[in-house]
Structure 1
Amino acid sequence: MAHIPVNHPARPVYRAIAGLVALYILAFGVFGLVETAGDDLFSRGSHWVLGLRTNLAFSLVSVVFGLVVLFGTIHRGNLGHLMNLAAGVVFLLTGLVMMSVLQTGSNILNFSMSTVIVSLIFGLLFLATGLYDKVGPPAHAEVEEEIRDSTSARPGR
C-alpha cells in the first residue's frame, strides 16, 4: 500500500524548494513576456530567457502557472501538497510531449532540448515536494512516528 508521510519534519525545506522553483518559473515567464512582446503568440523565433527558449504563449503559461504554484506553496494546508503533485505530473507530461514534437511544426511552445530537460527536472522536484509536504493532525503524526520507531528497531529492516 502506498504511503505518503504526514507532517514530515523536513516539510518546510520541501515547501521552500517548491517555492524557489515556482519563483524561477514566474521570473522566466515575466522576462519571457518582456523578451517576446510584439511577437505572434506561437512564434518559433530564437528568444532565450534564463537559459531556456520561449515564445509569447509559453511565457504567458509560465506566469500563470508560476503564480498558481506559488500560491499553493504559500498556502499552509494540503492544497499545496495536492498542487505540487499535480504540477509534477503536468511538468513531466509536458516535457515528454514536447520532446516528442521537438523538431516538428507542433512545437507550439517553442521548446528546445534544454527546456525539455528543465521541465522534467521541475516535474521530479514538484513530485518529491508534493510527497513530503502533506499536513495532518498532530495525533496522526505521533502515531506515525511510533510506527516508524517500532519498525526500525526490528532486525532485518
Structure 2
Amino acid sequence: MHLPVNHPARPIYRVLAGLIGVYILAFGVYGVVLTWDTGLFGRGSDWSLGLRTNLAFSIVSVIFGAFLLIGASRRGNLGHYMNLTAGAVFLFTALLMMGLLQTANFLNFSMSTVIVSLVFGLILLGTGLYDKVGPPEHAEAAHERRYHPVAKHHR
C-alpha cells in the first residue's frame, strides 16, 4: 500500500481536520451546557448546532473534538494516525448508531447526526491518507514514481 508522503496539500488537510475538530468541540460544549440538567443518556429533543444530542454524546464530543484539534496541530505522523483513527471511529459509530436509531439509541442520534458522522468520517479518513510525513528522500522517490516517463504512458 502506498500513502503519499509530504503531500503538497498537507496544510489544507490539517486545517480541514482542525475545522471539524472545532465544530465537534463547539457542538459538545454547547450540548453539555444545554443538557446539563437532563439524564446522561436522555432521549429528549435537545439540539446543538443542528444535531440532536444528550449529555453523554456531548461529553464524548468535547473529548473527541479536543483529540482532533491536538491531531491537527501536530506536524509529525501523530496527526496522520489520529486522523485515520478518527475517520474509522466516525464511520463505525455512524453505522452502529444508524442500526440503533429505533431501539437502543443511547447517544440520542438522529438520521442527520448519522449523515454528518459519515461525512466527517470520510473527510477525516481522506485527510489521514494524505497527511503522512516522511524524510525528503521518500517524498522525492514518490515524486519520481509519479512522474516517471513510463508511468505517463500507463495512465
Q: Same fold (TM over 0.5)?
A: yes
Q: Could you list the per-position Cα deviations for residues 128-150 of structure 1 after superposition, in whole angstroms to 9, with x for gaps in the alignment?
A: 00000000011111111111110
Deviation at 1:124, TM superposition (A): 0.2
Any unmatched runs of 5+ in structure 1?
A: none
Partners of 1:154 and 1:54 in 2: how far apart? 50
1:12 is aligned to 11
- Structure 2 counterparts to residues 107-118 of structure 1, below 5 A: 107-118=105-116
Any unmatched runs of 5+ in structure 2?
A: none
2:67 is aligned to 68
Q: Residues 117 and 152 from structure 1, CA distance in 2 versus in 1: closer, same or farther, beyond 3 angstroms? A: farther
Contact 2:5 2:134 in 1 (8 A): yes
1:89 is aligned to 88
1:51 is aligned to 50
Partners of 1:80 and 1:56 in 2: how far apart? 28
Q: Which amino acid aligns with 2:127?
A: T
Q: Could you list the per-position Cα deviations for residues 7-41 of structure 1 after superposition, in whole angstroms to 9, with x for gaps in the alignment?
A: 00001001110000010000000000111011110
1:34 is aligned to 33
Aligned residues: CA RMSD: 1.0
Between the aligned residues of both structures, percent identity stands at 66
Partners of 1:8 and 1:152 in 2: how far apart? 22
